[in-house]
Amino acid sequence: MNKALLSLAIGGFGIGLTEFVIMGILPEIATAFDITIPQAGHFISAYALGVVVGAPILTSIGSKWPANRVLLALMMWFTVFNTLSSFATGYNSFIVLRFLSGLPHGAFFGIGAVVAGKLSKEGKSAQGIAIMFSGLTFANLLGVPLGTYLGKHFSWNLSFLLVGFVGILVVLSIKLWMPTLKKSSETHFLEDLKIFKRLEIWLIIILTTIGTGGFFAWYSYIAPLITDVAKHSADIVPVAMILAGLGMVIGNFLGAKLVEKFTPIYAIIIILSTMVVCLSLNTIFASDKVMILVMTFIIGAVTFCLSTPIQVAIINASKGSETLGSSLNQSAFNIGNASGAYFAGIPIAMGYGYTSADWVGAAMAASGVLIAIGIIILRKQRVKG
């Protein structure tokens, strides 16, 4: 069982690597394709769009087969198109490949979260889900800095070849370690669709989109924030990525502890409120060479506390259709990826500087707090009714 959870964590590592490494080498990709950095941000949005489209479609198709076989097929797709991404020759080909690379992301995490919960000990499903997401956080601690270093000192293409190599390891680990499982969903897809009638599901999806969008508003432009605002050399960007990744590793498991201490929705309110404060402070400290690195660690820790509470919240709200609900939350997470990068890019393109992205992120996180409060009010009204 531990090896099975480890295979999910390695899958999370590969997905985290391809999703986040591009943010550290965005200037290099922009230079290679002769486009602006905000235009290069479209590649982040293209990947996120792939996740949004792929999550419900591939989850519904895959629900007809055993979960272990579906997870294997998803990671084979992931490996092929991420490897092909390294051979892109221009803006058009790369944006198509980024979209295709993103398709299996949501379904893998959606199905994987439910599987992780079932493979865990009784009452420890949050920790099982946190183990899967730990792969994503360790990607930010180890894989993304390595990929960023390769992209900055050799070629951005090598960063995506690294993703392809990790993808091969994921396929092998799932093949060898994942036990034979039942279908990822025991209900018909049309039955699963009935969860869309639940207002709370929609509110959690919107909460995930806007709340996590605050993180991506900051993280999408972390490289120019480090070099252009704090005036660090480009060599410090991988160091900043390591600090952010270390924070994410700690934050991921702290988030699981918060779920055990509070209900998921109250944990979310605490985390998003803290994120608002941290992103606001980052606009003040961004020009300080030491404090920008300290805040990078802190923001990484705070934002990744969200992973497990939000996933547990939607699984709890999707009783009977947990796999679809779980995958939809990954779609929402990546709409947040796309919207955070897009909205933060607007004031940057207008000339307000890279710290303006942090204000956008703080506003999105604050909106998430209000939505979470709305969910609590909805639940209280339901109890009274």
Torsion of CA 240, 243, 248, 254, to 10 degrees: -150
Q: Say yes or no to pLDDT of 272 above 90.
A: yes
Q: Which residues face 183 on adjacent strands?
A: 66
Answer with the residue of higher pLDDT: 141 or 283: 283
Of the chain, the percentage scoring pLDDT greater than 90 comes to 35
**How big is the CA angle at 21 (ends 157 and 54), to the nearest 5 degrees?**
95
Q: How many domains does the chain have?
A: 1
Half-sphere exposure at residue 138, Cβ-oriented, CA atoms within 13 angstroms: 16
What is the SS3 assignment for 186? coil
Q: Say yes or no to pLDDT of 43 above 80.
A: yes
Cα distance between residue 336 and residue 164, in whole Å? 25
Q: What is the pLDDT of residue 140?
A: 78
Q: What is the mean pLDDT of residues 218-224?
A: 85
Question: Which tokens belong to 220?
Answer: 């999408």
Say if CB 272 and CB 369 are below 8 A apart: yes
Q: For 225, which DSSP code?
A: I
Does an H or E element contain 198, and which?
A: none
Cα distance between residue 176 and residue 171, in whole Å? 9
Q: What is the mean pLDDT of residues 189-198?
A: 73
Q: Say yes or no to pLDDT of 1 above 60.
A: no
The domain of 75 spans 2-384
Q: Say yes or no to pLDDT of 62 above 80.
A: no
Please state which of the ranges 35-39, 153-157, 181-185, 319-323 shows the lowest mean pLDDT.
Answer: 181-185
Answer with the residue of higher pLDDT: 145 or 85: 85
pLDDT in tens, 343-375: 988 898 888 889 999 999 999 999 999 999 999
Mean pLDDT: which of 3-17, 31-45, 190-204, 313-327 is highest?
3-17
Q: Say yes or no to pLDDT of 107 above 80.
A: yes
Cα distance between residue 287 and residue 229, in whole Å? 5
Q: Say yes or no to pLDDT of 144 above 70.
A: yes
Answer with the residue of higher pLDDT: 234 or 359: 359
Compute the residue count for the chain: 385
- Provide the pLDDT confidence category of residue 65 given band limits of 50, 70 and 90: confident
**How big is the CA angle at 312 (ends 171 and 307), to the nearest 5 degrees?**
65
Q: What is the pLDDT of residue 129?
A: 79
- Provide the pLDDT confidence category of residue 185 given band limits of 50, 70 and 90: low
Residue corresponding to tokens 């050399």 = 233
Answer with the residue of higher pLDDT: 100 or 316: 100
Q: Say yes or no to pLDDT of 383 above 80.
A: no
Q: For 195, which DSSP code?
A: G
- Provide the pLDDT confidence category of residue 333 given band limits of 50, 70 and 90: confident
Cα distance between residue 352 and residue 360, in whole Å? 12
- Provide the pLDDT confidence category of residue 98 given band limits of 50, 70 and 90: very high
Answer with the residue of higher pLDDT: 249 or 191: 249
Q: What is the mean pLDDT of residues 119-135?
A: 76
CATH code of 218's domain: 1.20.1250.20
Cα distance between residue 160 and residue 166, in whole Å? 10
